[in-house]
């Protein structure tokens, strides 16, 4: 089954394809002729995911899904949250975002945080939302070379390594996106069996 995934991020595409497996072929917006930046102007992760999936559906007419992810840091009142990708600037500058986060947590003892992903799936005329959450903490310096975004700073509960120190399979087994995508995959499988 082909399904449009609202991302052109190769890392995210690979993560999601690994969880969904061979039963689904992910198609990017670019493959469908959607070259422009997909809007995400809502104040919540749920709102952004929904806005992106509806935008893609309107442009392509195809079944699609979109996700939005936020890193929510307790000591920063949930920031960067919905602004995670653009925390330090208007662009997706992962290095600048990580530097700003570390600077904002200097001298802070409470380093509890959680990653949260919300997926909006549009199939037929129905929208379905799936959420994945992983609790953890922010380390004091970047560690690891895998993944992207805040992965070098985040250690999930029950682990002693950052996401960036894990293989893609290890990360997918415990990550917020992996949890949300597994819910999406279970829903799609159940729907296909009907």
Binding-site residues for Mg(2+): 68
Where is 130: in which H helix or E strand?
Answer: strand 126-138
Please name which of 158, 190, 192, 193 lies closest in space to residue 175, comparing C-alpha atoms: 158
Burial class of residue 135 (count of CB atoms within 10 Å of its CB; 0-12, 13-18, 19+):
middle
Cα gap 189→194, rounded to integer Å: 9
Binding-site residues for substrate: 7-12, 69, 148-151, 171, 176-177
Cα gap 76→158, rounded to integer Å: 23
40: domain CATH number is 3.90.950.10
Indicate the pTM of the whole model: 0.90
Contact partners, residue 15, CB within 8 Å, separation at least 6: 168, 171, 172, 175, 177, 178, 181
Number of separate domains in the chain: 1
Q: 110: domain range?
A: 2-193
Say whether pLDDT at 153 is over 90. yes
What pLDDT, on the 0 to 100 scale, is given for residue 52? 96
Say whether pLDDT at 193 is over 80. no
What pLDDT, on the 0 to 100 scale, is given for residue 72? 97
Alpha-helix residue ranges (DSSP H) falling in 32-175: 45-60, 94-104, 168-174
Binding-site residues: 7-12, 68-69, 148-151, 171, 176-177
Average pLDDT for 105-117: 97
Quick: pLDDT tens for 30-46. 999 999 989 989 999 99
Say whether pLDDT at 177 is over 60. yes
Active site residue 68: yes
Catalytic residue among 63, 67, 68, 169: 68
């Amino acid at each position: 089954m082909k399904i449009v995934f609202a991302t052109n991020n190769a890392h995210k595409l690979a993560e999601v394809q690994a969880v969904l497996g061979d039963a689904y072929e992910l198609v990017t917006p670019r493959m469908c002729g959607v070259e422009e930046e997909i809007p995400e102007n809502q104040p919540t992760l749920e709102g952004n995911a929904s806005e992106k999936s509806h935008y893609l559906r309107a442009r392509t007419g195809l079944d699609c899904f979109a996700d939005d992810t936020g890193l929510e840091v307790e000591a920063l009142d949930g920031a960067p949250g919905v602004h995670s990708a653009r925390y330090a600037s208007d662009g997706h500058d992962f290095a600048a975002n990580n530097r700003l986060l570390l600077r904002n947590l200097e001298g802070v003892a409470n380093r509890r945080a959680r990653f949260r992903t919300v997926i909006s799936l549009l199939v037929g005329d129905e929208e379905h939302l799936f959420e994945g959450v992983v609790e953890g903490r922010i380390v004091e310096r970047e560690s690891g070379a895998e993944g992207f975004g805040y992965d070098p700073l985040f250690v999930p509960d029950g682990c002693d390594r950052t996401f960036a120190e894990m293989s893609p399979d290890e990360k997918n087994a415990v990550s917020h996106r992996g949890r949300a995508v597994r819910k999406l995959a279970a829903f799609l499988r159940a729907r296909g069996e009907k």
